[in-house]
A and B are shown apart, each in its own frame.
Chain A
Amino acid sequence: MSDTHATGRRGLLNWLLGLTGGGVLASVIYPLTRYLTPPEIPEAETHSVSAGSAQALVPNSGRVVPFGSRAAIVIRTSGGELRAFSATCTHLDCTVQFRPDLQRIWCACHNGQYDLTGRNVAGPPPRPLEAYDVKVKDDQIVIARRS
Chain B
Amino acid sequence: MPGPFRAWLDERLPIADVLAMLRHKTVPQHRYSLWYYFGGMTLFLFIVQVITGGLLLLYYRPSSSEAYESVAFIVTRVPFGWLVRSVHAWSANLMVAMAVAHLFSVLFLHAYRRPRELTWISGVLLLLLTLAFGFTGYLLPWNEVSFFATRVGTDIAATIPGIGHFIVRFLRGGDDVTGATLTRLFGFHVAILPAIVTTLLALHLFLVQRHGMSVPPSVEARAVHDHKAIRAIPFIPHFALHDLFAWTVALALLAGLSTFIPWELGIKADPFAPAPAGIRPEWYFLWTFETLKHVPATVAGINGELLAVAGLGAAALGVLLLPFLAGETHRSRRVVVWTGLVALLFMAAMTMLAVQASLQGATP
Q: Which residues of A contact B (CB under 8 A)?
A: 36-38, 41, 64-66, 69-71, 73, 87, 89, 91-97, 102, 106-111, 113, 120, 122-126
Contact = CB atoms under 8 A, between A and B. Distances in A.
B169 A37 contact: yes
Contacts of B267: none
A106 B297 CA distance: 16
B297 to A, nearest CB: 4
11 contacts: A36-B170, A37-B169, A64-B272, A66-B272, A71-B271, A93-B151, A93-B155, A106-B364, A108-B279, A109-B148, A109-B275
B277 A64 contact: no
Closest 10 CB pairs of A and B: A97-B274, A93-B155, A126-B297, A94-B275, A108-B275, A92-B152, A66-B272, A92-B155, A110-B293, A95-B274
B282 to A, nearest CB: 14
Label chain A's interface by main secondary structure. Answer: loop
A92 B151 contact: yes
Contact of A69 (B166, B169, B176, B293): B176
A85 B105 CA distance: 50
B274 A38 contact: no
B173 interface: yes
Nearest to A120: B297
Given A37-B169, A109-B148, A97 B305 contact: no
A44 B271 CA distance: 19
A73 B273 CA distance: 10
A36 B357 CA distance: 38
A47 B155 CA distance: 24
A80 B194 CA distance: 56
Interface residues of B, number: 39
A95 B148 contact: yes
A37 B292 CA distance: 28
B187 to A, nearest CB: 10
B296 interface: yes
B180 to A, nearest CB: 7
Contacts of A109: 148, 152, 275, 279
B304 interface: yes
B339 interface: no
B169 A92 contact: no
Nearest to A93: B155
A120 B155 CA distance: 19
Contacts of B170: 36-38
Interface string B261-284: 000000000011111111100000
B218 interface: no
B315 interface: no
Contact of B166 (A37, A102, A120): A37
A96 to B, nearest CB: 6
Contacts, number: 94
B297 A124 contact: yes
B237 interface: no
Nearest to B293: A110
A95 B276 CA distance: 9
Contacts of B313: none
A92 B173 CA distance: 17
Of A91, A94, A97, A110, most B-chain CB atoms within 10 Å: A110
A72 B185 CA distance: 27
Given A37-B170, A64-B273, A91-B305, A108 B278 contact: yes
Contacts of B273: 64, 71, 95
Contacts of A73: 274
A66 B154 CA distance: 21
Nearest to B175: A69
B336 interface: no
A44 to B, nearest CB: 14
A124 B293 contact: yes
Contacts of A41: 174
B362 interface: yes
A142 B164 CA distance: 34
B348 interface: no
Contacts of A37: 166, 169-170
A3 to B, nearest CB: 42
Given A38-B174, A64-B274, A111 B279 contact: no
Contacts of B173: 38
A94 B297 contact: no
Nearest to A126: B297
